[in-house]
């Protein structure tokens, strides 16, 4: 564990004192405080230089639009941890090694590819390469701006030979032109005239360093030169490279074009060959003037199109970008984000650092899903190679709720991707002797690529999670076209899977046996409550969808008897309950297992890197909040008394080795009255990446944990629930916050909810009137705001966390 240091953070919001990390309150999950970051409500600013932080800042400063992702590596190419340029859905196939294979084991894995890097603009100052590891860095700052959608950088650097230059750059990945990115790079000599050389590159097959999956299963597999050159061409100030993967057969084209602003004549030369295209610009630049290079980058990839066709696509993207121009691209980016924040902003008062972290989270979730357009949202977005670039259940269960109520079009596109992979899910089910569709635990192209079947194949709840997200999207948006084209079929095939996969016992109860729920420390069990309730909801949603869209159902061959079986299975679903303890069992007989020795495992988290699964599976120890999360998603199936008893039982045995746990526990803690604990758990979720709580942010952001910031604010402190399309709120703030407001889009209605002390005010910003509820009191929200009081809640002392797993507290209060 790396010891934390005390923070000194500037602040700009509300005049409050910024928070500090208290070493005495740091849990044993390897926490690094966010040293170097200013607290600002709309920016993430890093001042100074710390080479040891490069991997983290490359991730935190990553830019993406859901289609293209650029890690925040320096333009000069070095120093670098993982350079990282990713395209959504672009991967290479690799073998999955098994010590002992078996029928139905996936044969091949998939790994995201670091495609051709177009970010590189090398600088030579009088033949001295600009490299922050050498010479002297007098000033250095980088700013990720949540309103402009750009990454800005300013560096004052003195070379080893004593020459000083000021470097300013700004980059963007366009939200409005999904195949385009751009960089503006300026160099100003200080104190004397200088000969400067810029080398603007396209570089394929870059070496990738860092920890591999051999050391940590959360990391990426290593790929050795995955791209084969197919085409290289250049002309004037532009160049293009086309490559093809060896095994997945995907082709990628990367292109660049440039504009130059120079105070005098310059020599230019361009070349393109194999894995490298390079524009070289050499000029003598007088002091008091600047050398400015604007670089436009374009990408395209396909499994079917030829190299010339991809090259033509990239040429067109570059022409469009250059015709638009740098300033107009920036304005489009800013305008897009203005619209996003109108629908998605969350405003907090009382904790400036938390305010910054929440907006940082919302911004990165937008980047992950905004323009994927019928492609998956990976667990790391496009910010790093962690988890091999795979998509998990995280997307539908954590990310899509936020997108559904803020950027619904993006949520619809991700669900359309799931529908596009339905043939693979049906083939997987058939391979395993099942009806319907069985979606993969982890994948890039829709095929299962988890080689560990107890967590992968047995994690059937992912299919129910997709069904639940589909039904939620349809309810929240009223998108009938999607329901007819995609939604009904998704729900029907998932219902067919669960109705056939489960069975009835001698008492007539419907059971789902031999499965793994969200908690990966308890595998291959019977009747996991989360899975059974998720399946129950999926079956009921399929029945409702067939009733709404009978024509679509007939085309799928749905029979009345089949629908009746789905309804009956849902009504008779088994939900294990321990009468003696008065709590639900996470899975059947879970409460009979021996308890884990939490005292003995202090300092040895995460457990998956220090103990065998063989032992974890036999004990009461929870990695990922499982039953507790079910009480939020399916809260109408539990009484308030059951929620409190269940939370008190499971919180002391949940170690939160998963980055998803804290936000799940935070929501339920707020509901049962543990507001201080909820605040701490929310902080842990929100600062997962900014403070690198899991010691792996260099491999990419935890997008689902970032989406948890929205969940914790809106569903936790806002108490928002959507059961059957009825939107209700039960707002209540912890004492650490003075005020909170959040915005939502529900069908055509845009609303804002403002919580101020003991009152909540609901406003309709646009759209038709909408029926809502406040702490059980129903009302119709129209042109006039509605204000309601918030009754005090009984203060309770929460149970203790497992030793060494105390929630993250940034300050004593």
Q: Is 339 a catalytic residue?
A: no
Residue whose C-alpha is closest to residue 48's, from 8, 2, 77, 6: 8
Distances, alpha carbon 755 to alpha carbons 431, 581, 771, 788, in Å: 52, 37, 19, 10
Report helix, strand or coil for 491. Answer: helix
- Token readout for 341 is 């924040």
User: What is the total residue count of the chain?
Assistant: 813
Residues 6+ apart with CB under 8 A from 326: 182, 184, 259, 294
* Dihedral angle computed from the Cα positions of residues 609, 613, 618 and 620, in that order, rounded to the nearest 10 degrees: 40
Residue 256 and residue 277 in contact, taking contact as beta carbons nearer than 8 Å:
yes
Report helix, strand or coil for 735. Answer: coil
CA distance 581 to 649: 9
Q: Which residues are registered as beta bridge partners of 255? A: 240, 298
Where do runs of H (alpha helix) occur along 655-743? 661-672, 675-686, 703-711
CA distance 728 to 638: 16
CA distance 298 to 296: 7
Residue 629 and residue 643 in contact, taking contact as beta carbons nearer than 8 Å:
no
* Dihedral angle computed from the Cα positions of residues 630, 634, 637 and 640, in that order, rounded to the nearest 10 degrees: 70
CA distance 467 to 470: 5
Residue 112 and residue 445 in contact, taking contact as beta carbons nearer than 8 Å:
no
Options 75, 92, 206, 520, the catalytic residue:
520
- Cα-Cα end-to-end distance for the chain: 25
To 5 degrees, how large is the angle CA 746–CA 752–CA 756? 145
Residue 197 and residue 260 in contact, taking contact as beta carbons nearer than 8 Å:
no
To 5 degrees, how large is the angle CA 386–CA 700–CA 113? 55
For 37-48, give one letter per residue: b (16+ CB within 10 A) or e.
Answer: bbbbbbbbbbee
The sign of the torsion formed by the CA atoms of 33, 39, 43, 46 equals negative
DSSP H or E run through 512:
none
CA distance 372 to 703: 14
Q: Which residues are registered as beta bridge partners of 282? A: 197, 267
Quick count: other Cβ atoms within 10 Å of Cβ 300? Answer: 24
Residues annotated as part of the active site: 520
């Amino acid at each position: 564990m790396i010891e934390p240091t005390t923070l000194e953070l500037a602040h700009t919001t509300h005049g409050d004192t910024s928070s500090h990390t208290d070493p005495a309150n740091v849990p044993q999950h390897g926490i690094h405080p966010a040293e170097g970051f200013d607290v600002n409500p709309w920016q993430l600013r890093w001042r100074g230089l710390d080479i040891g932080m490069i991997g983290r800042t490359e991730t935190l400063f990553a830019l993406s639009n859901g289609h293209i992702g650029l890690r925040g590596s320096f333009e000069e190419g070095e120093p670098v941890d993982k350079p990282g340029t990713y395209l959504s859905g672009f991967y290479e196939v690799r073998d999955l090694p098994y010590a002992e294979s078996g029928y139905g084991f996936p044969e091949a894995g998939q790994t995201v590819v670091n495609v051709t890097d177009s970010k590189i603009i090398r600088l030579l100052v009088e033949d001295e390469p600009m490299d922050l590891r050498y010479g002297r860095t007098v000033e250095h700052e980088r700013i990720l701006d949540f309103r402009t959608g750009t990454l800005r950088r300013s560096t004052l650097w003195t070379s080893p030979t004593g020459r000083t230059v000021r470097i300013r750059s700004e980059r963007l990945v366009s939200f409005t032109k999904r195949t385009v990115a751009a960089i503006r790079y300026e160099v100003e000599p200080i104190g004397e005239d200088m000969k400067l050389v810029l080398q603007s590159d396209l570089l394929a097959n870059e070496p990738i360093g860092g920890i591999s999956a051999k050391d940590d299963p959360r990391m990426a597999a290593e790929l050795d030169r995955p791209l084969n050159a197919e085409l290289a061409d250049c002309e004037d100030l532009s160049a293009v490279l086309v490559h093809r993967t060896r095994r997945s057969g995907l082709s990628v084209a990367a292109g660049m074009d440039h504009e130059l602003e120079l105070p005098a004549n310059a020599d230019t030369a361009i070349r393109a060959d194999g894995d490298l295209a390079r524009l070289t610009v050499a000029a003598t630049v007088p002091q008091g003037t600047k050398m400015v290079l604007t670089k436009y980058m374009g990408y395209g990839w396909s499994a079917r199109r030829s190299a010339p066709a991809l090259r033509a696509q990239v040429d067109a993207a570059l022409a469009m970008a250059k015709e638009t121009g740098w300033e107009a691209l920036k304005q489009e980016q800013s305008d897009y984000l203005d619209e996003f924040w109108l629908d998605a902003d969350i405003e907090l008062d009382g904790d400036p650092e938390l305010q910054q972290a929440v907006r940082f989270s919302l911004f990165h979730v937008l980047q992950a899903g905004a323009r994927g357009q019928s492609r998956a949202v990976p667990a790391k977005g496009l910010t790093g190679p962690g988890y091999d670039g795979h998509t998990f259940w995280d997307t539908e269960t954590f990310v899509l709720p936020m997108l559904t109520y803020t950027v619904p079009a993006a949520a619809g596109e991700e669900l359309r991707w799931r529908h596009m992979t339905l043939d693979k899910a049906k083939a997987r089910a058939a391979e395993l002797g099942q009806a319907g569709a069985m979606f993969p635990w982890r994948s890039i192209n829709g095929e299962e690529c988890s080689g560990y079947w107890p967590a992968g194949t047995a994690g059937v709840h992912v299919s129910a999670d997709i069904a639940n997200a589909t039904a939620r999207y349809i309810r929240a948006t009223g998108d009938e076209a999607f329901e007819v084209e995609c939604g009904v079929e998704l729900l029907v095939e998932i219902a067919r899977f669960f109705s056939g996969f489960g069975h009835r016992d001698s008492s007539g109860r419907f059971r789902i046996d031999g499965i793994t729920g969200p908690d990966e420390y308890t595998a291959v069990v019977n009747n996991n409550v989360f899975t059974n309730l998720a399946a129950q909801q999926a079956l009921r949603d399929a029945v409702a969808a067939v009733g709404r869209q009978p024509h679509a159902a007939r085309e799928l061959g749905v029979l009345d008897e089949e629908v009746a079986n789905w309804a009956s299975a849902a009504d008779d679903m088994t939900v294990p309950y321990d009468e003696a303890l008065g709590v639900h069992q996470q899975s059947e007989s879970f409460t009979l297992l021996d308890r884990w020795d939490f005292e003995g495992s202090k300092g040895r988290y995460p457990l998956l890197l220090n103990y065998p699964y063989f032992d974890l599976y036999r004990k009461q120890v929870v990695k990922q909040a499982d039953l507790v999360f079910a009480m939020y998603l399916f809260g109408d199936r539990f009484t308030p008394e059951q929620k409190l008893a269940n939370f008190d039982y499971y919180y002391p045995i949940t170690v939160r080795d998963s980055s998803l746990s804290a936000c799940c526990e935070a929501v339920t803690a707020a509901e049962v009255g543990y507001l201080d604990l909820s605040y701490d758990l929310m902080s842990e979720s929100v600062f997962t990446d900014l403070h690198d709580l899991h010691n792996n942010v260099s491999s990419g952001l935890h997008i689902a944990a970032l989406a948890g910031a929205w969940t914790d604010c809106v569903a936790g402190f806002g108490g928002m629930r959507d059961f059957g399309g009825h939107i209700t709120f039960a707002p209540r703030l912890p004492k650490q916050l003075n005020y909170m407001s959040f915005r939502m889009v529900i069908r055509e209605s845009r609303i804002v909810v403002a919580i101020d002390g003991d009152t909540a005010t609901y406003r309709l910003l646009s759209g038709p009137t909408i029926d809502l509820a406040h702490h059980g009191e129903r009302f119709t929200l129209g042109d006039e705001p509605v204000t309601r009081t918030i009754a005090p809640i009984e203060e309770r002392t929460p149970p203790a966390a497992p030793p060494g797993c105390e929630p993250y507290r940034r300050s004593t209060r």
